[in-house]
Amino acid sequence: MSAHPSTLIPEADLPRELSPELAVEAAYAGPLAEVASRLARGLPVLVECDKELSPYAFANVRGRLKPSGIQCLYLDGRPRATADPAGGGAMATGFVGNMLNQLRDAVRGSVERRVVVLPHLDLLTTSQGGLTAEAREVIPLLYENPELVWLGFKDPSFPLPRVIENLFPHRASLLGIPRDRLGHLVTQKEARKFGRRFHAWGLYKYVSGVNAVRLRRLLSTLEGEDYPEDPKHAYRQLRQATLVGTLEVPETDLDRDIGGYTRVKDRLRAEILDLLARKDGATDADEAARLEALIPRGLIFWGPPGTGKTLFAKAMAASLGAAVTIVSGPELKSRWVGESEENLRQIFRRARQSAPSVIVFDELDSFASARGMYTGSGVEHSMVNQLLTEMDGFHREEMVFVVGTTNFVEALDPALLRPGRFEFHLQIPYPDADDRRAIIQIHDRAMGLQLTPEALEFAVRQTAGPVEGAAPGTLHSGDHLNALCRATARIRIREGLTGPTDPDLIERAMTEWIERPKMTRAEEWTVATHEAGHAVCSLHCPYAATIDRISIRGDAAGALGFVRYQDKAHRYIVTRGELLDDLCVLMGGREAEAMLLDDLSIGAAEDLRRATAIARALVEEFGLGGDEIGVGRFAADEKSRPLSPARLELLDRRISEILEEARRRAAGILAENRASVEALRDLLVEKKVIDAKALSTLGGR
């Protein structure tokens, strides 16, 4: 044997023919020999396997016990040749009733040790693992005769009640196929459908969750030419045949269907997809196993709502040729005891049967929050435990991935995040300008919007800030961009537009149905004066952000007007000069009213709140209050020492001084540029909305 076993198996080493019985022996010889050994020693055994496999598994065990002279009684509910229908045969009592009669006869009529086989234990339980009426009769019988040795078969679809499981001290699992046995389950004729070189590991990825009997059935029906240059046709047939229920392989392409997010895509490829591709192509089994051990099976995709976390999971599944199951966390919960955990078991079972597969738990935090934080019925605790049990039961060679999406990764149970479970964390943030441009271009092609370059850039700029009317801090996500493009498409259809889409149409799509306040001329004059004050101060403050747009149409929720700024060049470092410029700009609106109007409005309330917070932070937290205050942090918290009255008075006085300095600075800038303030005010009253290009005529930076 080679020191480095190969994943490529020569055709001559494969069997010429293979019956289901021989396939079961080839796949499960070790576990079945152990089952027979335990039974021979008088120990009951529970075998977990698919229904179609259980008759073949029993036949194999019976053959192993035969040389020892041990008799087996198979209680399958079918009428015996000597059964008297009038005396309680199958026709009189039904299938389950007949099985109960057979069980009574076996228990009360046997005086010698023999193996009694129970192939249909699932008929004694409900889907939630409760006891049926028949099971209440069966349980006393199972414990009545100590001379009987029980061999039970458990369908993985049905949990057994604890009282029945306790009857079996030894258990065996015949789920899926051991990878090292796959080379014994494919005939030479079938291997030719996969090309001139049979890659066992490449095939195993598609059949890991299939039992040996079903595998033989699938392989024997493969169609296509022998020794194809590309074996995709054969793999495609297997992929379709192994999809369970309504599962399907998504067609989402990582590049074609997801715009932008280059860094996210690069990391997903580098740490998951590229390693899997390299593992699938490896011809050395040891190397493939090493690569396999490096690939995380549990992944957390986290970030704000609407940023495409589920879409990335679908694209990952499509790249792997994997079936995807999307599960909503809240939908898993049930008021019935045990049903939530059973829902989880069934999801993982179907995923294993349809491997390669990806399970996506949407809103994972809805049931997997840190234990001790639950506010619901308590079922979440059991669901987390069940999820951990399922993930800990993964075999390394199983191509089943679990993706949890969440908006609150910090709320997840720490037990889920340790290595071996959800160890791979991928942040999917709000899209930046380049991402938004790429996303809009994808929707442009899909919806036929024919965006002009100007319209595209206008849409990118207009979606840079917060979403109007949404919760504070909500920025434009991929979902918001999709909604904008769909709104644009609806306008084009409604009005029969066939030409290119210009910026005005994008503007309409964003603002057409916003309920704007009906301001009087005097009110517009006041709002325009206020916003002009902000803008002119911003134009003459060297560290202020560049203005992108000014509006007095009441577009912003809770505000009659606004000045919107472009993204700052420096996102991570904030300097004292920037904060002082922010204070000056915030004071500009009120000071413009004081300079040009007869009275002051209360429109500066939010400006003053923000300005006071900045001034207080400068003095109390950032050590930027000046020489009189000194360098230190003076904000009160539970761990800090109480401040003296003199210190508090000094801090408050310095905060007031900083605010007054900002006010005087704003007043000075506006006085020096009064003509610009008035011109901008008049332009705003006339146009209602002006952009950066119109502002360039007013001077400043």
Residues 407 and 449 placed together within one structural domain of the fold:
no
pLDDT in tens, 125-137: 654 555 667 667 7
Q: Is the pLDDT of residue 85 over 60?
A: no
Count Cα neighbours of 682 within 13 Å in the Cβ-side half-sphere: 7
pLDDT in tens, 310-353: 999 999 998 888 888 888 866 676 656 566 777 788 888 888 88
Residues 225 and 154 placed together within one structural domain of the fold:
no
Q: DSSP letter string over 392-423?
A: HT--TT--EEEEEEES-GGGB-HHHHSTTSS-
Assign 302 to helix, strand or coil. strand
DSSP-derived letter for residue 698 is G
Residues 102 and 45 placed together within one structural domain of the fold:
yes
Highest mean pLDDT among 50-54, 234-238, 292-296, 471-475: 50-54
Q: Which residues of 334-347 are buried (b: 16+ CB within 10 A; e: fewer)?
A: beeebbbbbbbbeb
Q: Is the pLDDT of residue 436 over 70?
A: yes
- Considering only 154-168, 178-192, 262-276, 642-656, which range has the smallest mean pLDDT? 154-168
Q: Is residue 199 part of a domain?
A: yes
- Considering only 33-42, 532-541, 621-630, which range has the smallest mean pLDDT? 621-630
- Considering only 211-215, 290-294, 459-463, which range has the smallest mean pLDDT? 290-294
| Residue 228 in tokens | 């194809």
Q: Is the pLDDT of residue 355 over 80?
A: yes
Q: What percentage of the chain reaches a pLDDT higher than 70?
A: 87
Across the chain, mean pLDDT equals 84
Instruction: Determine the longest span between alpha carbons in the chain, in angstroms.
Output: 114
| Residue 91 in tokens | 């026709």
Please check whether residue 83 is in contact with residue 90, taking contact to mean a CB–CB distance below 8 angstroms.
yes
pLDDT, greater one: 695 or 444: 444
Q: How many domains does the chain divide into?
A: 5
pLDDT, greater one: 401 or 418: 401
pLDDT in tens, 538-557: 999 999 988 888 888 876 65
Mean pLDDT value of segment 110-116: 76
Residues 525 and 673 placed together within one structural domain of the fold:
yes
Q: Is residue 162 part of a domain?
A: yes
Please check whether residue 422 is in contact with residue 299, taking contact to mean a CB–CB distance below 8 angstroms.
yes
Cβ contacts of 506-513, under 8 Å, gap ≥ 24? 506/451, 506/455, 506/458, 506/459, 506/462, 507/458, 507/462, 509/484, 510/462, 510/484, 511/553, 511/555, 512/487
Mean pLDDT value of segment 47-64: 93
Residues 69 and 193 placed together within one structural domain of the fold:
no
Residues 642 and 662 placed together within one structural domain of the fold:
yes
pTM of the model: 0.75
Q: Is residue 247 part of a domain?
A: no
Instruction: Give the per-residue pLDDT at 3.
Output: 44
Instruction: Give the per-residue pLDDT at 44.
Output: 93
Q: Is the pLDDT of residue 674 over 80?
A: yes
Torsion of CA 310, 311, 317, 322, to 10 degrees: 80
pLDDT in tens, 358-375: 999 888 887 777 655 555
Domain boundary (456, 482, 511) is at 511
Instruction: Give the per-residue pLDDT at 608.
Output: 96
Residue 354's domain is classified under what CATH number? 3.40.50.300
pLDDT, greater one: 401 or 76: 401
Residues 438 and 423 placed together within one structural domain of the fold:
no
Residues 529 and 611 placed together within one structural domain of the fold:
yes
Residues 338 and 418 placed together within one structural domain of the fold:
yes
Q: Is the pLDDT of residue 461 over 70?
A: yes
Q: Is the pLDDT of residue 565 over 90?
A: no
Q: DSSP letter string over 227-278?
A: S-S-THHHHHHHHHHH--TT-B-----TTTSS-S-HHHHHHHIIIIIHHHHH
Please check whether residue 405 is in contact with residue 313, taking contact to mean a CB–CB distance below 8 angstroms.
yes
Assign 566 to helix, strand or coil. coil
Residues 361 and 217 placed together within one structural domain of the fold:
no
pLDDT in tens, 7-17: 788 888 899 99
Instruction: Give the per-residue pLDDT at 91.
Output: 41
CA separation for the pair 637, 651 (Å, rounded): 16
The neighbouring-strand residues paired with 46 are 152, 171
Q: Is residue 143 part of a domain?
A: yes
β strands within 363-492, DSSP E:
400-406, 424-427
Instruction: Give the per-residue pLDDT at 89.
Output: 40
Residue 163's domain is classified under what CATH number? 3.40.50
pLDDT in tens, 254-288: 999 999 999 999 999 999 999 888 888 777 888 88
Read off φ and ψ for residue 342, nearest 5 degrees: -65, -40
Q: Is residue 2 part of a domain?
A: no
The neighbouring-strand residues paired with 692 are none
Q: In what order do the strands lie in the sheet with 45-48?
A: 72-74, 114-118, 148-154, 45-48, 170-173
Residue 603's domain is classified under what CATH number? 1.20.58.760
The per-type count for the chain, helices as H runs and strands as E runs, is 27, 15
Q: Is residue 179 part of a domain?
A: no
Residues 51 and 130 placed together within one structural domain of the fold:
yes
Mean pLDDT value of segment 177-206: 88
pLDDT in tens, 616-642: 999 998 988 888 888 888 876 656 678
Domain boundary (148, 173, 198) is at 173
Q: Is residue 168 part of a domain?
A: yes
> Omega of the bond prior to 542 within 30 degrees of 0, cis?
no
Q: Is residue 676 part of a domain?
A: yes
Tell me the residue range of the domain where 501 lies: 433-511
Residues 279 and 374 placed together within one structural domain of the fold:
yes
Mean pLDDT value of segment 685-695: 82
Give catalytic residue positions.
Answer: 531
Q: Is the pLDDT of residue 87 over 50?
A: no
CA separation for the pair 160, 156 (Å, rounded): 9
Domain boundary (411, 427, 443) is at 427
